[in-house]
Chain A
Amino acid sequence: MTFQVELVSPESISYSGEAEMIIARTVEGGDIAFQPGHVPFIGVLSVWSVEVIRPDGERDVFAVHRGFVQVAGTKVSILSDVSEAADEIDIERAREARLSAQDLISSDKDNEEVLASLERSEVRLRVAGSEV
């Protein structure tokens, strides 16, 4: 049994397909995996990756920068302002972003914007398969 998964951004549906399992992380900090037949669920996602495991065993990984997940019946929708597939990520840029964020952090520990940007670049690198 599989379910239908859709990654919806404000501009368009960026991904849609079949999946056997979906792994995401909610703001509470815990990973959660959905399989068909899961109870109806709505959760707030944190800045983290979303893994879609397709029926053929392949994995599609996305960096999702905040959003929501709704599981209803055999349909999973992930709503997010920004979501990037692994192959869309510019590793060089993410690395640079992380470096400059780390630089800024060392002098200004509580700058929320910089912390968020560090978080984003780290998730990008993780998703793109580069070391963190």
Chain B
Amino acid sequence: MAGGKERVLRRRIGSVQNTKKITRAMELIAATRVVKAQQRARSAKPYAEQITSVIENLAAGGAEVDHPLLRKAEKVSRVGVVVISSDRGLAGPYNSSVIRAAERQVQNARSEGADYSLIVIGRKARDYFAFRNFNIDSYTEGISDNPTYEDARRISETVSEMFSEAKVDRVELVYTEFLSIGSQKVTVRRFLPLEDTEVIASEGGGDSSLTTAFEFEPSPESVLEALLPRYVEARLFGALLESAASEHANRQRAMKAATDNAEELIIKLSREMNQARQDAITTEIMEIVSGAEALGSDSEKSNELLDLVGSSTENNS
């Protein structure tokens, strides 16, 4: 039988169809998750804004403290890089671009003559850096999908501790900023030391344009001291939430492309399959016809054969 090629193609179409079903399902799941993640990122904003606004008022009140988180090292001998990636792949360029940005930070540190410390969130970045023999000082997994404030608190505690014990003199935060469903951007932010309160205040979008003098209890300094760690946590939490939303948005886009490609491939393969089938039929007819002609002397018999061919082509078409 000449149906071998046809059978192979039929099987391939089947497998592409199955893949398409999977990618379509992943696309739909990512689509619902991105909406949820976006909402969480939005509802976390007021807290960060309020904290910034309190710092603003503190700065206006002239509170200045010697907090460990504000320590500015004269010479940076070790740079901490916090990188937020995801645990699972199939998210388009999401992981590779954030990892590349983090690696660039490490190289920058090296070219400044400083050592580096990697604080890795997400399995993908861990795999990448571990495979290339980078030192990973802290690793967290299983949170990037749906981060909680508790996770942010734990990680920022680790980082703040490293910083206040002078194990690192500067910390950069590498994450993916969620601008909209259609656009996310890898962003590198200075995480520690914190800017002076005046700088935080001028950057913040807080709503207090009031210049009235505040009363502080117990004192401006101790309020600020209690507030700064919260500020660090809120910033990391915001970055985690934005990264999660970006991850889902990227996955949705990648899976949409995969589904579209599968559809295209199915069309292409079905055409090829039909062609193969048609070829097989033509060959068969040719064989029968030439057989009939070889028996040309016996005209009655060849007519019978030609009739047979006629009916078989009708069945085939």
Contact = CB atoms under 8 A, between A and B. Distances in A.
B227 A68 contact: yes
B50 A10 contact: no
Interface in A1-52: 6, 8-13, 26-28, 32, 39-44
Given A8-B50, A70-B50, A72-B57, A40 B210 contact: yes
Given A10-B44, A70-B53, A44 B226 contact: yes
A129 B95 CA distance: 50
B54 A26 contact: no
A81 interface: yes
Given A42-B216, A68-B223, A68-B226, A9 B47 contact: yes
B12 interface: no
A27 B153 CA distance: 22
Interface string B206-224: 0010101111111000110
Interface residues of B, number: 32
Main DSSP-derived SS at the B contact region: helix
B226 A77 contact: no
Interface stretch (B132-140, B158-166, B229-237): B229-237
A73 interface: yes
B43 interface: yes
Contacts of B215: 39-42
A44 B218 contact: yes
Contacts of A41: 214-217
12 contacts: A8-B46, A10-B44, A11-B44, A27-B218, A27-B222, A40-B57, A42-B216, A44-B226, A68-B54, A72-B208, A72-B212, A79-B50
Interface of B: 40, 43-44, 46-47, 50-51, 53-54, 57-58, 148-149, 152-153, 208, 210, 212-218, 222-223, 226-227, 230, 233-234, 237
Interface of A: 6, 8-13, 26-28, 32, 39-44, 68, 70, 72-73, 77, 79, 81
